[in-house]
Chain A
Amino acid sequence: MITSANLAKLKIQRTIFHDVPNRPRGTDCKPVLADLETQVDAKRAEMLRRRMVQVLGSKSSYPVEFAVGSGSRVPEEVRSYTAKPSTTEQFVEMSQRLAAFLFEQHTGATSPGLLCVIDVTSGAQQGLVLLKLEREQGAELKFREEGGKRVFDMSVLDNLILTEGTRLFKTGLFLRTGPNDEDFDAAACDSQWTVATSGDVARFWLRYLGCRFTEEPRVSTEKWFEATVRFANEHVTDPIVKNDLYEHLHSELKSNRKTVSPKKFIEDCIPDKYRKAYEGFLTEKGVSLHAFPKDIADIKGRLRKRAYHTEKGVSIIVPEEEVQLVEIAKRQIVVNDQLASIDRK
């Protein structure tokens, strides 16, 4: 998994941009591929590094791994490029192949964009960052010719990456951890994952990268749900706080948001005094603090009702839609309903 230590040590070695338009049927569009890397000055390199940290360390960044049989050409390119030191020419060619493959994946409905490929190191680790920057049709992209070769101007960075308003991009970071094909730490981020769009569109970037989330979303979701319930039961003594946490948990899982960010949940829903303990508890239970796509398939049944158990052994089961009938106070639970039947229903 990519850690803050990896991101702290990130260093940009080479940068190149390719313009990848969309591909409406029957048109003869082609990507505009650069032949030379863009020379980035120290100030912009630092700003670009900061922006990568902000994106890849954000709550919308997910740990990913190469998916077997994905059909994407990205994993092979990443594996082969990071396996040994490469020349500038090899970097340019590899990035051109990545841009050409991205263009193949585009349709008429895909947003046109600029693919930025960055050769990075993190300490002794070799790595690659891929950014897809969406741009308005017709937006000016300055490129120039150098000895008959095309190169995008550094101003591309100012206009598309380093502007204050632009915070999230389609991003992927791959850091090699060993000599084998699967020896990578990787993370991916796509601002579309956080909005309600169809899974297919939202996963476009992941498919292009040839990756899948490191853990199945339904597994991550259940693990987080279980760990949070256990934490509330084992560590929170105040009944009101316990119930608040339970409510927050249900609301989070039943919300329209497509992802769960434990970090954000901590910030928004966990009282100060429990934060550290909760974080530690999640880590101890193997639950990542990084965001993950929400999939409630395995806990649907448990989200349909709420269960309360008292100290003396009384159990109250409430359908989710009637939860307002139960009032939790410090020393009592009030159920505002009338008895309908006894023993089994």
Chain B
Amino acid sequence: MTDLEEARKRWIVERPQYEQLGFHMMERLQKEILLAGIWAELKIRAKEVDSLIRKLITKPEHTYDSLGDKVGIRVIVRYRDEIDAILGIARETLDLSNVENTTDRLRPDVVGYRSIHGVVRFRDGELASKFPPAVFQAELQIRTLAQHLWAEMAHATVYKNDETLQPLPNLLKRRIYILAGVVELADEEFNRIEREIPMVPEITVLKALERNHYKLTVRRGDSQLSLEVIRLLMPIYHLETSKIVSRLDDFFLAHSGVLQHVYAQAETAPDRSAFLFQPEALMIYDLLEADPLVVRRAWNERYPEKELERVANAFGMSFD
């Protein structure tokens, strides 16, 4: 067993370094996830001293050095189908090993924490020299929003696993099993609906816009407003939906340099338009470049022109 006092002292000294490790890893993953156009929330967490000591007490098979989750990087996505893409990105970007789906540990008739876990290290480059893979590793957790909901509710409560449920009366246990089933079903259904959602034109365009939007920012727009704006502006294209989608993809590629710059700058801009961080801003930019007058005319039927002007100004265009 590890000398806990020694572990405590070491962790107080080494924790900031592990925090740095997690930060650099998260930065790398974040960049690649953005490029893939997937919305994801990333967080890092280095264990608090007391939490580390608790872990060493409850997992005596581990030593301070063998403990793989001293720092964790959590990636939360919306849909299960996106988990594989994130795993692929993690494999490309970092050295990923020991991938485990915690669902595999569960019997079919029990509740429990569900997530994908793995161990990541820097493979090469400057950061691998600073954080040698033989010493520094972090735990990667990938889960959906629904899985995250269960994990957060279960954290430090009796929902955690079958063992913690044991002392409860049967009726209460049954209610917890039902709840677990509902959350799992919701997770599954969100995924299926996403796959099977009827491809009405404005939703198809919104999906295309979101794919590009999440390459620029993790901020999510108001999808109801997005659909309204798309419905308002789509007719200006005089094109069928698939052609609008490919035009928007081409426009994004051709303007990605400007877009990256504008969105990086707008992150801290206190007075930005309500529409800049909406996925349809890309469509507005495209149409403003093509025919500003027609866009302004259509826009003014429903929204304040000042908001459109702010978007135009952000993209370097003037209404004067």
Which residues of A are at the interface with B, using a C-beta cutoff of 8 A?
3-11, 42-43, 46-47, 50, 53-61, 123, 167-168, 266-267, 272, 275-276
Q: Is the CB of A60 within 8 A of B320?
A: yes
Q: State in angstroms the CA–CA spacing of A50 and B314 once bound together.
A: 7
Q: State in angstroms the CA–CA spacing of A7 and B317 once bound together.
A: 8
Q: B164 at interface (Cβ–Cβ under 8 A)?
A: no
Q: B290 at interface (Cβ–Cβ under 8 A)?
A: yes
Q: Is the CB of A59 within 8 A of B316?
A: no
Known interface pairs A56-B318, A60-B320. Does A11 touch B265 (Cβ–Cβ under 8 Å)? yes
Q: State in angstroms the CA–CA spacing of A7 and B315 once bound together.
A: 7
Closest to B297 in A: A272
Known interface pairs A267-B293, A276-B291. Does A53 touch B271 (Cβ–Cβ under 8 Å)? no
Known interface pairs A8-B258, A50-B310, A267-B293. Does A43 touch B318 (Cβ–Cβ under 8 Å)? no
Q: Is the CB of B315 within 8 A of A4?
A: yes
Q: Is the CB of B294 within 8 A of A46?
A: no
Q: State in angstroms the CA–CA spacing of A10 and B315 once bound together.
A: 10
Closest to A45 in B: B269
Q: Is the CB of B318 within 8 A of A58?
A: yes
Closest to B269 in A: A46
Q: Is the CB of B319 within 8 A of A9?
A: no
| A contact residues around B2 at 8 Å (CB) | none
| A contact residues around B314 at 8 Å (CB) | 8
Closest to A10 in B: B316
Q: Is the CB of B320 within 8 A of A8?
A: no
Q: B125 at interface (Cβ–Cβ under 8 A)?
A: no
| A contact residues around B257 at 8 Å (CB) | 5, 123
Q: Is the CB of B271 within 8 A of A54?
A: no
For the complex formed, measure the closest distance between the CB of A159 and the CB atoms of chain B, giving whole angstroms: 18
- The listed residue (B268, B270, B290, B317) touching A53 by CB distance below 8 A is B317
Q: Which 4 A-B pairs have the closest CB atoms?
A: A8-B316, A57-B318, A7-B316, A4-B316
- The listed residue (A9, A50, A267) touching B261 by CB distance below 8 A is A9
Q: B97 at interface (Cβ–Cβ under 8 A)?
A: no
Q: Is the CB of A8 within 8 A of B268?
A: no
Closest to B268 in A: A42
- The listed residue (A4, A42, A43, A168) touching B317 by CB distance below 8 A is A4
| A contact residues around B271 at 8 Å (CB) | 43, 46-47
For the complex formed, measure the closest distance between the CB of B177 and the CB atoms of chain A, giving whole angstroms: 52
| A contact residues around B270 at 8 Å (CB) | 42-43, 46
Closest to A11 in B: B265
Q: Is the CB of A275 within 8 A of B293?
A: yes
| B contact residues around A57 at 8 Å (CB) | 316-318, 320
Q: State in angstroms the CA–CA spacing of A59 and B289 once bound together.
A: 15
| A contact residues around B246 at 8 Å (CB) | none
Q: B313 at interface (Cβ–Cβ under 8 A)?
A: yes
- The listed residue (B258, B272, B291, B318) touching A54 by CB distance below 8 A is B318
Q: Is the CB of A50 within 8 A of B320?
A: no
| B contact residues around A3 at 8 Å (CB) | 316
For the complex formed, measure the closest distance between the CB of A129 and the CB atoms of chain B, giving whole angstroms: 14
13 pairs, A vs B, C-beta closer than 8 Å: A4-B289, A11-B265, A46-B270, A46-B272, A53-B318, A54-B313, A57-B320, A59-B320, A168-B320, A267-B293, A275-B291, A275-B294, A276-B291
CB neighbors of A among B262-310 (8 A): 262, 265, 268-272, 289-291, 293-294, 310
Q: State in angstroms the CA–CA spacing of A123 and B269 once bound together.
A: 17
CB neighbors of A among B246-265 (8 A): 255, 257-258, 261-262, 265
| B contact residues around A9 at 8 Å (CB) | 258, 261-262, 316
10 new A-B contacts, CB < 8 A, other than A43-B271, A57-B318, A123-B257, are A7-B316, A7-B318, A8-B261, A10-B316, A42-B269, A47-B271, A50-B313, A58-B318, A266-B293, A272-B294
Q: Is the CB of B290 within 8 A of A276?
A: yes
Q: Is the CB of B316 within 8 A of A6?
A: yes
For the complex formed, measure the closest distance between the CB of B286 and the CB atoms of chain A, giving whole angstroms: 12
Q: Is the CB of B261 within 8 A of A53?
A: no
For the complex formed, measure the closest distance between the CB of A47 and the CB atoms of chain B, giving whole angstroms: 6
Q: State in angstroms the CA–CA spacing of A266 and B317 once bound together.
A: 16
Closest to A56 in B: B318
Closest to A272 in B: B294
Q: State in angstroms the CA–CA spacing of A123 and B315 once bound together.
A: 13
Q: State in angstroms the CA–CA spacing of A6 and B315 once bound together.
A: 9
| B contact residues around A7 at 8 Å (CB) | 316-318
| A contact residues around B265 at 8 Å (CB) | 11
Known interface pairs A4-B289, A275-B293. Does A55 touch B261 (Cβ–Cβ under 8 Å)? no
Q: Is the CB of B319 within 8 A of A54?
A: yes
| A contact residues around B268 at 8 Å (CB) | 42
For the complex formed, measure the closest distance between the CB of A56 and the CB atoms of chain B, giving whole angstroms: 7
Q: Is the CB of A5 within 8 A of B293?
A: no
Q: State in angstroms the CA–CA spacing of A272 and B180 once bound together.
A: 58
Closest to A270 in B: B293
Known interface pairs A42-B270, A46-B271, A123-B257. Does A8 touch B262 (Cβ–Cβ under 8 Å)? yes
Closest to B314 in A: A8
| B contact residues around A276 at 8 Å (CB) | 290-291
Q: Is the CB of A55 within 8 A of B318?
A: yes
Known interface pairs A8-B314, A276-B291. Does A55 touch B320 (Cβ–Cβ under 8 Å)? yes
| Bitwise interface map of B from 162 to 182 toward A, beta carbon under 8 Å scored 1, else 0 | 000000000000000000000
| B contact residues around A5 at 8 Å (CB) | 255, 257-258, 316
For the complex formed, measure the closest distance between the CB of A87 and the CB atoms of chain B, giving whole angstroms: 24
